[in-house]
Chains A and B, each alone.
Chain A
């Protein structure tokens, strides 16, 4: 079946540093989504990518849909304490609209 590998699994950074995380898949996806999950809450959508090569920003967040359609990355610039949480990538193919989720990247930011 389809698999998504998300890395790194966890990151411990200093406030103000930039962060980068990525996801790779074993198959092609037509959509890549990046979610953030705060403790005790459900995932909240950060960025949605719909075209290969697409680069989209949302404030300090930037995400790209890889040209091969098998990967995506998320960058966070100038991290702040409220960036703490678990970040998930999710990919969707064109068969049924189901999402496949990565394992998550847990981000910790030290003030």
Chain B
């Protein structure tokens, strides 16, 4: 029972490089989310998706893009990485809020360093 799986777990990039973080969930959840976690700031929502083919901006969307081509996958892209994007990135998923306010389930995170 995998739950939410994030790949890669670690990555080091140079400023200006691009990359894509992959999130996959096997729980048939409608909603998926990308957060970043920085020391002393908790988790901040980057982008989220309420269903296949839809995406929306969260609290800190600048510098990131996302795509939800398949229900089970949610991709987070950095087009031109900047040192300020050094962080730990978490993906989460949940059933829709109309299904009993189901809580979010988190992956184990991707630790990204931008040099």
Contact = CB atoms under 8 A, between A and B. Distances in A.
Interface of A: 1, 4, 6, 9, 30-31, 33, 35, 40-45, 48, 50, 88, 90, 92, 94, 96-99, 101-104
A92 B4 CA distance: 21
14 contacts: A31-B101, A41-B109, A42-B108, A43-B90, A44-B106, A45-B103, A48-B101, A92-B101, A96-B97, A97-B97, A98-B48, A99-B104, A101-B44, A104-B42
A48 B40 CA distance: 23
Nearest to A33: B103
B101 A45 contact: no
A1 B59 contact: yes
Interface of B: 4, 31, 33, 35, 40-45, 48, 50, 56, 58-59, 90, 92, 94, 96-97, 101, 103-109
A42 B92 CA distance: 9
Contact of B107 (A42, A88, A99): A42
